Amino acid sequence: MSIEEYLNKGVKEIITEFPEIEQILDEYEIGCGTCGEGLCLLKDIVEIHDVDEDLEAELMLRISKVIYPDKSVVIPKRRRENQEKKLFKYSPPMKKMVSEHVLIKRWVALIPKVIENLDLETEEGLQLIDQGIDFIRNYADKFHHAKEEDEAFKYFDENLAMIQVIRKDHVRVRAHVKAMLEAIENKDKDALAANLTAYAEILPEHIKKEDEILFPWMDRNLTTQQVGRLYSRFNEIEDDFRTAAERHRIFIERLETEFC
């Protein structure tokens, strides 16, 4: 099989055939092995992850040597371990999305304590978990995720692998929320705790994919006019949601005071 044929295969499929490639990608801060979907083609990895130009040939040579170990391939130098981590310079609309992730991550950090204090028998206990689920459904999903799905994604081909991965994460989150509501109705603390835990496990990788891959990739492909329209639309959405956003922020701060 030629290298061109491998370039058009899904990266997860290639890692399954050649496990060593996962380690190589990790060294270049391309975490395809831990990605829940791995839909990207090998040829897309360099572009999506914005690999530095001087490292692109190095990376592909190393991968080629794994696929064709009997070929005479020059082994390139390794990346310096102390290489400075890439700093992301987001456009104004993407900065808003990254900023919203901060509040969502604060909620995720509180989930272990929420689970530890689950109480489905008292009004106070039910109110706490209801407010937590309200934060997920309204701030994280209807406000934040809707900005992505209804506004940002429309500027791109939604069949692209990266967008499919993000959408599937959103679907998984919504399924866990539905299960949480059913658990509350059934007074099933174990099921509620299990779905809160599963939700908390999805979010860190999901946010990392967006902050470090999706949003920078979008910024590289949006025109100046599209960035302006997106920023204007985000401002309109935030104006409509301002009171609710403040309510959610106060909820998170109250939990942090109570549990931390």
> Mean per-residue pLDDT for 106-124?
96
Which pLDDT score, from 0 to 100, does residue 81 have? 43
Domains of the chain (ranges; CATH) run 3-67 (no CATH), 92-259 (1.20.120.520)
Q: pTM above 0.85?
A: no
Res. 38 pLDDT band, cuts 50 70 90 = low
137: left (phi over 0), alpha (psi -120 to 50) or beta: alpha
pLDDT band at 2, cuts 50/70/90? Answer: low
Q: How large is the average pLDDT for residues 79-102?
A: 78
* Contact predicate 155/226, CB 8 Å: yes
pLDDT of res. 76: 42
Q: How many CB atoms lie within 10 A of CB 89?
A: 9
Lowest mean pLDDT among 19-23, 49-53, 137-141, 191-195: 49-53
Q: Report the 3 state secondary structure along the chain.
A: CCHHHHHCCEHHHHHHHCCHHHHHHHHCCCCCCCCCCCCCEHHHHHHHCCCCHHHHHHHHHHHHHHHCCCCCCCCCCCCCCCCCCCCCCCCHHHHHHHHHHHHHHHHHHHHHHHHHCCCCCCHHHHHHHHHHHHHHHHHHHHHHHHHHHHHHHHHCCCCCHHHHHHHHHHHHHHHHHHHHHHHHHCCCHHHHHHHHHHHHHHHHHHHHHHHHHHHHHHHHHCCHHHHHHHHHHHHHHHHHHHHHHHHHHHHHHHHHHHHC
Over range 170-182, report the average pLDDT: 97
Mean pLDDT, the chain, rounded, equals 86
* Residue 34 binned pLDDT confidence (cut-offs 50, 70, 90): low
Cβ burial of 145 (10 Å; 0-12, 13-18, 19+) is buried
Q: Are 141 and 174 in contact (CB under 8 A)?
A: yes
pLDDT higher than threshold 90 for residue 12: no
Percentage of the chain exceeding pLDDT 90: 60
When pLDDT is averaged across residues 6-15 and rounded to a whole number, the result is 75
pLDDT classification of 37: cutoffs 50, 70, 90: low
Count of C-beta atoms within a 10 Å radius of residue 187:
11
Confidence (pLDDT) at 28: 74
pLDDT band at 207 (very low <50, low <70, confident <90, very high): very high
pLDDT above 80 for 181: yes
Residue 77's pLDDT is 46
Determine the average pLDDT of the residues in 95-101: 97
Return the pLDDT at 78: 41
Q: Residues 104-120: what's their mean pLDDT?
A: 96
Mean pLDDT throughout 30-55?
63
